[in-house]
Amino acid sequence: MHIYIQRNNGISITRQIVLAVIDQILSGFLQEGEKLPSVRVLSKQLNVSLLTVVKAYRELEQQNFLYSVQGSGTFVRKKNNDIETACIEEPLTQDWQLSVPDYLPRSQLAQFHHVPQKIHLASSMVDPELLPNRHLKTAFEHLIQEDGTFLSRYGHTQGDQQLRLAMQQYLSGLGVYTQIENLLVTNGSQQGIDLIARTFVGPGDVVILEAPTYPGAIDIFRNRGVTILTVPLDQEGMRLDILQQLFDKHHPKLIYTIPNFHNPTGVLMSHKRRRKLLEMAQNTQTLIIEDDPWGEIYYDQHPPAPIKSMDEYGHVIYLKGLSKILAPGCRIGVLSASGSIFKRVLAAKANADLGTPLVTQKILLPFLEPSIVESHMQNLRTTLKIRRDLALEILSERCPKEVSWMVPQGGLNLWLSLPEWVQSHLVLAEANKKGISFLPGSSCFSVEHENHHIRLSFSFVSQELLREGITTLCEILAGIILSRKNSHSSPYF
Amino acid sequence: MHIYIQRNNGISITRQIVLAVIDQILSGFLQEGEKLPSVRVLSKQLNVSLLTVVKAYRELEQQNFLYSVQGSGTFVRKKNNDIETACIEEPLTQDWQLSVPDYLPRSQLAQFHHVPQKIHLASSMVDPELLPNRHLKTAFEHLIQEDGTFLSRYGHTQGDQQLRLAMQQYLSGLGVYTQIENLLVTNGSQQGIDLIARTFVGPGDVVILEAPTYPGAIDIFRNRGVTILTVPLDQEGMRLDILQQLFDKHHPKLIYTIPNFHNPTGVLMSHKRRRKLLEMAQNTQTLIIEDDPWGEIYYDQHPPAPIKSMDEYGHVIYLKGLSKILAPGCRIGVLSASGSIFKRVLAAKANADLGTPLVTQKILLPFLEPSIVESHMQNLRTTLKIRRDLALEILSERCPKEVSWMVPQGGLNLWLSLPEWVQSHLVLAEANKKGISFLPGSSCFSVEHENHHIRLSFSFVSQELLREGITTLCEILAGIILSRKNSHSSPYF
């Protein structure tokens, strides 16, 4: 167990330990029944007083996250809130491993991605039925018959040249004009964020995230040991007035933003804010990561041009994911940056894995023909808009009035805000019983958790299942809200 | 430019700066003509005195790695040793980027992997002609016709279950008995090492490497900011007497070793040493990374069972790479560990890229049928043994007597030791002129560089080109050694 203690960020050390342990429990990193390090061991590891750890553990017990057994130790409480006797799954012979500290305070995504639920509303993924499977198959069969030697060759660390050429053209259609020398093929956008983080930030550096934001990015920056500061969003995207206040007090090194149909809220950043954000970064020599996983999936009008399109001096590192909207099985993304910033990220890629597999790049290549890919995006927009509208319709009809949401103009997600006393991970436990999954909002917050939000992805399941899932979820929420009205012994608050 | 200064490792700070800059130049990270940070900027970044940086730069000028231009700054010298005027490739508008410090002190592999030379002896890769290209193609065509849905699905973060089942069976044939729950599919072994490093070690931790060792591992650990201590090898592998001395003084957290046909030297670790190394790790609660990229490629007898086969308490993390010997285009490796060590590495994988692409895993799967894969390995052993013997034959006939080497009992490499006054990267420049590449030995050392070794990979090029390449290389070496006898103005010393 690793907890980065920051002694100058205004949050007490006890509170930092509490938040970190909650984080590890909610993210599934500490599992039900698992034993925590003893007070003595943790206080030594973190170089804090015994009393600090005692207070933190006591608070966690009061919040029902932990329980202690006299003479045995402190354990993670089961989600059903029953007190359990200690259960340790690991063989005792491997107990010594617990004394090996690590650098991994958080890993939200390991657990939510593959929960085998009938109605999967948890991951921002596109229904496989809507993806160009058949086309990719046929094109790949041709390719492999013509020349299958790419199976036995390593690709270039930077990525296949033909794919970079195709991506150069594709990105120009989005307003990002770049050279193939400034493109790096990555194993999805997740790796792109990770490469940038490992190259440029570490303990002592300040990184700005939107709150809420993509959990995978939080994991990455938390694991780099940086100081994370957050900026909330309004209808136009990141609140730049609050960002300015942070700039006045701190020297951020990096800003991570998702301007197009922000994950998880769906907010679209306005053109004016994009320009202003870039100016602020230029004035302070701050790097911007512009993550754009689904800017193509707009339901009304085309989003404003990417921040990268205005980037004259190399402040913006632009990430375009292709996995979600084209071929998840290939997990391909592309990163565009310039100058020494690019060169250093490329070197980090060599360290990380020496290069993205050539095969996945070659499979994607034929599909990037402009007419083909544009027609696919057009179809996706049409079909997903129908699903979004269906989801909104059911919510309007069935959802308790205490729950609110915004209509997303694009992307794959709906962001529901529940009454503050409802804990979304307890709602999730109920939903799981009915075969439904979603992403609890706490995953999307990096510092103080707001635990009363839900991210629903309407893009993965069929219309039929979507209807069933959201209807059931509305019933669950209604039941919870009703139970509060009837009783004060509900486990939800 | 990032340099980790360690104040208690017995090497002066000036020397550490000198070594780090040489490292960055030899690894291509600082390029010819590139400008270095000013003395003032670097001294501030590293928190060392101006004089320390001045002394380091002066020593680097004396060693012909740098030159300075009055009023302009200090630059990397071109390899042909001519004094050049400053040339900066980056547009001036991106100059501000140089003031962004990074966490990347070294990246050797970015440059040597893709040098387009006619006779490529640089990378430990297998000739594509010897790989099961046709078989993989056919099997994949069947697979895609039966069920191509894996193109549109993300795989599990841990790796495809069917592939893990096949790998479980495959590893048991090597003496490693494991459960599929303890297997993680990675993007090659490089990612396996990286995941372990990012999870368990950081600044202040001590990591033990063999000297020399695989350059990719050095890059990874250097970039984690750890203190690297090295242990030389003899005919039986890592010198455990020296390791014991290190244990007596330090508390290493991790040992990285390549017991089978060590990269780059080809040394095979004896069974006795494997057992003893494991005991030492158990006594000190140290983790062992056992990297096994080509244990199947033995030329005389089967190597001893992996250290992992004796691992009772979860000290060993075993890495089996499949890229090199099966399908480089797929870049697949597998990692076996247990207990919380495994769980934490799995979480790091989720952070890094959420999982290896499903496509590459599915392509490899049909080939792991035991009879098929064993027959392939048998063929590789036969064919590569012929190439090894050919390489040894030419060396015996043509190589100057001042050069020595050991006969590798397996693997893909030959390790030549030149007279100490010969700098291998200058030999490389000569070889490149004749269309030949190899890996300069300095890449394989992590602390003090030994620059008079050469790693030749005999497995990638045809017999004909192998003959031509080694013959020419012997001529170049003979010429250099002769020039030393004739003159003292040679650039090689």
CATH of the domain at A65: 1.10.10.10
Are B216 and B223 contacting, i.e. CB atoms less than 8 angstroms apart? no
Are B470 and B461 contacting, i.e. CB atoms less than 8 angstroms apart? no
CB distance B133–A149 less than 8 Å? yes
Average pLDDT score, chain A = 89
Query: Residue A101 domain-assigned?
Result: no
CB distance B350–A219 less than 8 Å? yes
CA distance to A74, A216, B101, B348, per residue, from A114 (Å): 29, 15, 38, 16
Predicted confidence at residue B485, as pLDDT, reads 79
Question: Alpha-carbon distance A5 to A10, whole Å?
Answer: 11
User: What totals of helices (H) and strands (E) does chain B contain, helices first?
Assistant: 15, 16
Among A1-10, A354-363, A456-465, name the most confident range.
A456-465
CB distance B216–A99 less than 8 Å? no
Query: Residue A220 domain-assigned?
Result: yes
Predicted confidence at residue A101, as pLDDT, reads 80
Query: How is A435-447 classified by DSSP, letter by letter?
Result: TEEEEEGGGG-SS
Query: Residue A105 domain-assigned?
Result: no
Query: Residue B239 domain-assigned?
Result: yes
Do A168 and A125 share a structural domain? no
Can you give the CATH number for the domain in which A352 is found? 3.40.640.10
Question: Alpha-carbon distance B104 to B4, whole Å?
Answer: 9
Do B443 and B316 share a structural domain? no
Tell me what the mean pLDDT of segment B44-59 comes to. Answer: 91
Predicted confidence at residue B83, as pLDDT, reads 36
Closest Cβ opposite residue A357 in set B201, B338, B360: B360
Dihedral angle over CA of B51, B52, B54, B59, nearest 10: 140
Tell me what the mean pLDDT of segment A216-225 comes to. Answer: 91
Closest Cβ opposite residue A94 in set B219, B339, B359: B339
Most B CBs within 10 Å: which of A102, A135, A284, as the mutation test of the B interface? A102
Do B222 and B238 share a structural domain? yes
**Residue-wise pLDDT tens digits, B447-475:** 777 889 999 999 999 999 999 999 999 99
Q: Which of the four pLDDT bands, split at 50, 70 and 90, describes residue B86?
A: very low
CB distance A154–B113 less than 8 Å? yes
Do A215 and A227 share a structural domain? yes
Can you give the CATH number for the domain in which A466 is found? 3.90.1150.10
**Last residue in a domain, options A371, A390, A405:** A371
Q: Which of the four pLDDT bands, split at 50, 70 and 90, describes residue B489?
A: low
Amino acid, res. B446 = S
Predicted confidence at residue B488, as pLDDT, reads 59
Per CB-CB distance under 8 Å, the chain A contacts of B134 are 148
Closest Cβ opposite residue B329 in set A109, A152, A312: A152
Per CB-CB distance under 8 Å, the chain B contacts of A134 are 148
Do B394 and B460 share a structural domain? yes
Dihedral angle over CA of B112, B117, B123, B124, nearest 10: 180
Do A405 and A312 share a structural domain? no
Do B237 and B292 share a structural domain? yes
pLDDT at A21 over 90: no
For residue B1, the distance in angstroms to the closest alpha carbon of chain A comes to 9
pLDDT at A113 over 70: no
Residue bearing tokens 């994607």: A364
Predicted confidence at residue A491, as pLDDT, reads 52
Question: Alpha-carbon distance A114 to A103, whole Å?
Answer: 24
Predicted confidence at residue B143, as pLDDT, reads 78
pLDDT at A83 over 90: no
Do B390 and B279 share a structural domain? no
Question: Alpha-carbon distance B26 to B425, whole Å?
Answer: 8
Q: Residue B59: which of B70, B51, B49 has the closest Cα?
A: B51
Do A277 and A167 share a structural domain? yes
Do B272 and B162 share a structural domain? yes
If you count residue pairs, one on A and one on B, with CB atoms under 8 Å apart, how many are there? 282
Query: Residue B110 domain-assigned?
Result: no
**Residue-wise pLDDT tens digits, B431-445:** 999 999 999 998 899
Query: Residue A186 domain-assigned?
Result: yes
Q: Residue B264: which of B408, B117, B472 has the closest Cα?
A: B408
Q: How many domains does chain B have?
A: 3
- Which of A125-129, A180-184, B296-300 has the weakest average pLDDT? A125-129
- Which of A226-230, A263-267, B394-398 has the weakest average pLDDT? A226-230
Predicted confidence at residue B97, as pLDDT, reads 84
CB distance A90–B114 less than 8 Å? no
Most B CBs within 10 Å: which of A92, A154, A214, as the mutation test of the B interface? A154
* Residue B446 DSSP symbol: S
**Last residue in a domain, options A318, A341, A371:** A371
Question: Alpha-carbon distance A305 to A269, whole Å?
Answer: 10
Do A353 and A387 share a structural domain? no
Which residues span the domain enclosing A56?
13-92
For residue B177, the distance in angstroms to the closest alpha carbon of chain A comes to 16
- Which of A449-453, B51-55, B261-265 has the weakest average pLDDT? A449-453
Q: State the pairing for strand pair B73-76/B119-120.
A: unpaired
CB distance A348–B219 less than 8 Å? no
Q: Which of the four pLDDT bands, split at 50, 70 and 90, describes residue A426?
A: confident
ipTM value for the complex: 0.83
pLDDT at A109 over 80: no
**Residue-wise pLDDT tens digits, A388-403:** 999 999 999 999 999 9
Closest Cβ opposite residue A154 in set B136, B312, B328: B328
Residues 6 or more apart from A465 whose CB is under 8 A from it?
A: A118, A119
Q: State the pairing for strand pair B206-211/B252-257.
A: parallel
Query: Residue B244 domain-assigned?
Result: yes
Q: How far apart are the first and last CA of chain A?
A: 28
Do B426 and B384 share a structural domain? yes
Query: Residue A97 domain-assigned?
Result: no
**Last residue in a domain, options A311, A344, A371:** A371
Q: Residue A27: which of A223, A225, A201 has the closest Cα?
A: A223
> Closest chain B residue to A359 measured between Cα atoms?
B329
* Residue A128 DSSP symbol: G
- Which of A409-418, B7-16, B394-403 has the weakest average pLDDT? B7-16
